Every structure is written in C-alpha cells, then in structure tokens.
Amino acid sequence: MRRARQMGVLEMSITAQALDSVYGRSAAGVRARLERDGLGGWHDLADAETDSEGRISEWRDKKLERGLYRIVFDSDYYFVGLGVSAAYPEIIVTFRMQDETDSYQIQVMLSPYSYSTHFRIA
C-alpha cells in the first residue's frame, strides 16, 4: 500500500484475519461476507474464505469507497467442522472507512463461547 501511495494511486483495501483462540492457531476455512450499508440496509459485496493462515487478502477486486461496512464471519460453519457447537453462529464486525488512501485490517479471535476483535488502519 505504501508503494501505491508513493505512485499517487489512491486505493482502499480491507483485509481480514481469523484466529482460533482455543487451539492457538490460524482459523483456516472461515467463511466471511463483506457488506456495505446503503439505501435500504446492508448490501452484499463479496464472499470469501480464510486461507491456511486465517487470512482474507482480497475480496474479488471490489472497488471500495468511504462508508460503513461490516464483515460477517460464519463461526458456526467453522466450529461445526471441528465437531463443536458455537454460542455465536455469526460474528459481525462493523466499521467505518473514512480515508481513500488507507488499508483497513480486521482481526477476529474466536472460540465457541467468546470472541474479540481488533481494528487497524495502515
């Protein structure tokens, strides 16, 4: 992103990471949906799944603008795959994107009965 800024390219990006706090590892295979608030409510922009490092680096080349966004992490699907029932079937992280030159990083640490989030602007 820093190189893009130096070259005069203005581009927002959102990356996400899911960590499994029960097993102390990356949460690979977590389904997630990126949504944007607009007229009439929330609108789906893209679906993705975390890679082997628990990351989602791209949302299928979606152009992003300033606004209110959220990522819906499907923790139920992830934990069912581990043979565990989750108290929170979805984890929703809502955030505001304000600067067209920033990169937004969303991190969620999940377990069957709790979760925490971290938000970073780079």
What CATH number has the domain bearing residue 76? 2.60.40.180
- Give residue 78's pLDDT: 97
pLDDT over 90 percentage in the chain: 74
pLDDT at 45 over 50: yes
Of the candidates 32, 6, 19, 12, the one whose C-alpha atom is nearest the C-alpha of residue 102 is 12
* Residue that is written with structure tokens 């934990």 in the block: 79
* Average pLDDT over the chain, rounded to an integer: 89
Q: What is the mean pLDDT of residues 62-77?
A: 92
pLDDT at 4 over 50: no
Q: What is the mean pLDDT of residues 47-65?
A: 88
- Give residue 11's pLDDT: 63
CA distances from 36 to 74, 76, 77, 95 (A): 17, 22, 22, 10
Count how many domains the chain has: 1
pLDDT over 70 percentage in the chain: 89
- Give residue 12's pLDDT: 72
Query: Residue 18: exposed, middle, or buried by beta-carbon count in 10 A (0-12, 13-18, 19+)?
Result: buried
- Give residue 101's pLDDT: 81
- Give residue 80's pLDDT: 96
How far apart CA 39 and CA 6 sit, in angstroms, is 35
Q: List the beta bridge partners of residue 97.
A: 67
The mean-pLDDT minimum among 61-65, 81-85, 116-120 falls in 61-65
Give the domain extent around 35.
2-121
- Give residue 65's pLDDT: 87
What are the b/e assignments for 103-116, b being 16+ CB within 10 Å?
A: bbbbbbbbbbeebe
